[in-house]
Amino acid sequence: MSKSNAFENDLLKLIFNGTAIADIAENDATSPLTNLYVSLHTADPGEAGDQTTSEATYTSYARVAVARTTGGWTVTANSVSPVAAIEFPAATGGSETITHWAVGSAPSGAGKLLYSGPVTPNIAVSNGVTPRLTTASTITED
């Protein structure tokens, strides 16, 4: 069974913008997440994974906080993308290939993985490289 396009869009707005779905779901009124945390991965973290599964380990790597608002994410036509490029810290050591990105609930540790998908083209990270996801990086609910 699938969801309607309207509900898919509403669901993305609830998760990424904190927008309530009338008569169905409200954003947490007492302590809602104000940011979502974007991570980079060297392999698909999969549906059973968490934010640490195959997470990047290059020196200086850190997840990037993106506001859980319309200022952080654009939701349209059952798809969500960042409003601006998401720039990760430049590598100061180590090397690896980034093949996936994910959105989760925590700034560090084994936070809940909400969505993940491939990075195309892959990003070869080595000393001095600043990994970046563009506004063309999308998550589609369908």
pLDDT per residue as tens digits for the range 63-81? 999 999 999 999 999 999 9
pLDDT at 44 over 80: yes
**Neighbour-count burial of 29, counting CB atoms closer than 10 A to its CB (0-12 exposed, 13-18 middle, 19+ buried):** exposed
Domain count along the chain? 1
Model's pTM, two decimal places? 0.94
The reported pLDDT for the residue numbered 127 is 97
d(CA 4, CA 11): 11
State mean pLDDT over 35-48. 97
3-state secondary structure 71-104: CCEEEECCEEEECCCEECCCCCECCEEEEEEEEE
- The mean pLDDT of 40-66, rounded to a whole number, is 97
Q: In this predicted structure, what is the pLDDT of residue 29?
A: 84
23 CB-contact burial (10 Å; exposed 0-12 / middle 13-18 / buried 19+): exposed
Q: Would you say residue 38 has pLDDT above 90?
A: yes
Domain that includes residue 70, residue range: 5-140
Token representation of residue 135: 């506004």
**b/e code 47-63 from CB counts within 10 Å (16+ = b):** eebbbbbbbbebeebeb
Sequence-ordered list of residues with C-beta below 8 angstroms from that of 41, at least 6 positions apart, any chain? 53, 54, 55, 56, 98, 99, 100, 101, 102, 116
